[in-house]
Each structure stands twice: as structure tokens, then as C-alpha cells.
Chains A and B, each alone.
Chain A
Amino acid sequence: MQVYRWTLTMALSIIHRATGIALYFGTLLLVWWLVAAASGPAAYAHVQAFAGSIIGRLIVFGYTWALMHHMLSGIRHFVWDLGYGFKANEREALTWGALIGGIALTVLIWIIAYANGGGR
């Protein structure tokens, strides 16, 4: 590893795995939310209290970013799977696209969420 000069593409490859692992354990939140909705008002209120807290919001914000980044980074892999985008400048452009796009989509989703009453 030490003999390679770190490139953006290499760093993003690790981030793709890290976000994947985070999303893996983050599905517990999704399960908790759905099971609570099926259990009743009291259980659902617990989820809402957690998701509405500072820690909860940070986790869900991080989860949103991990999901968006992993999706765009994954689409980048689909492009490579189809045999396109292997030139150095194309690789870099795709990788920057995933990085910036992931952050942009996360902010966009949260703006829409707050506009739709998510701040309650």
C-alpha cells in the first residue's frame, strides 16, 4: 500500500466500502421505524423522539449522506462495468461527481425534508 501515491479514486474506493458498512448497520434504524409503526403510537413516539434529537438528527443526516454517496459511487461502478470512463480524466470526473453529487443531494433532501415539516 505504501508504495502507491494515494489518488482520489483510491480514497473513494475505501469510502464506498465504509459507507456500505455504515448503511449495513444503519438498516437497524429502518427496521426500528417500521416495526414501531406496526406496533403502535407509544413505540412510534420513541422513534420520533430519537430521530428528532440532536444525536438522532446527526445520525440520520450521516445516513442520508452515506446512502446518496454510496448510490452515486455505485452508479460510477456501473459505468465502469459497462466499459466506459476508464481514462484518467474520466475516472477523476466520475469520482468528483460522486463526491460533490453525494453532498449536494444530501443537502437537497434535507431542505425538502424541512420544507415538508421534518423540523417539527
Chain B
Amino acid sequence: MSASETPKRSLRTPLGRVRNLGAAHSGTSDFWRQRITGVAMTLLMIPALVIIVMLLGRNQVYAAQTLSSIPVAVILLLFIFASAWHMKIGMQVVIEDYVHNEKLKLVSIMLNNFFSVAVALASTYAILKLSSGV
């Protein structure tokens, strides 16, 4: 529809007319966050891999010591935060594309949120516990 076809008396902006009409009932914020978290993980990939490779074949004492150092803990926390957010958005897109039953879709999206938050929180708790040394 071109601009000339829009009703002239309406106070609603073009954005206002289409807002909430998408499958997600939200705008482009998830699209943008998906990119931010993707770029973040790409940047963090090499340090994160170095940390994991460093710990291969080592015992728990060594692992606990390494994971509790500040740079390692911060890198992993950032990576986990970005991953959890990225995967939550990604799975939501998949659900919206393939699950067409409205109730099932809402339940799936809710479970997706629970899972992603649980993954993020459990990992964060573990790292903070190691860092605090209790």
C-alpha cells in the first residue's frame, strides 16, 4: 500500500497501525538482540574455547581454581548470558514458524523461556559459587 492510499483523517501513524500484528506480537527488538548476542558470542568464542581446552583432562580442584579467576568467570558469564538470550529468541522464532495451534504455541514459548532462564541461572549460580569459594 502506498502512502497516498492511507486514510487522510487518521491520527494513527503507519507504525501504529501495524504494531502487534506480527506472529510474535512484538516489533524488531528481538531481531536486533539476536544480532547483538550473536556478535557478542562470536567475539567471546576464542577466549571461551581456550578456557574449555585448558581444563580438558584436569581434575575438579584445578577446574574450580581456574573457573573462579576473575577474567575466566567474567568471560564465561558474558558468554552464558549472550547464549541464553540468543537461544531463547532463536527457539521462539522456530516455535512461531512451526507451531500453529495458538495454545500450544503459548505453552511452548513459555517453556522456552523457563528453559533458557534455568540454563542461564544454573550456570551463573555455579560460576558465582566457585568465585566466592564457598
Contact = CB atoms under 8 A, between A and B. Distances in A.
Interface of B is mostly: helix
Given A20-B87, A37-B67, A78-B39, A44 B94 contact: no
Contacts of A81: 35
Interface of A is mostly: helix
A28 B130 CA distance: 19
A83 interface: no
Contacts of B127: 34, 38
Interface of B: 35, 38-39, 41-42, 45, 49, 53-54, 56-61, 63-64, 67, 76, 80, 83-84, 87, 90-91, 94, 115, 119, 122-123, 125-127, 129-130
Contact of A116 (B56, B76, B87, B126): B56
- Count chain B CB atoms within 10 A of each CB in A28, A30, A37 and give the residue with the most: A37
A120 B57 CA distance: 5
Contact of A30 (B90, B123, B129): B123
Interface of A: 17, 20-21, 23-24, 27-28, 30-31, 34-38, 40-41, 43-45, 71, 74-75, 77-78, 81, 109, 112-113, 116-120
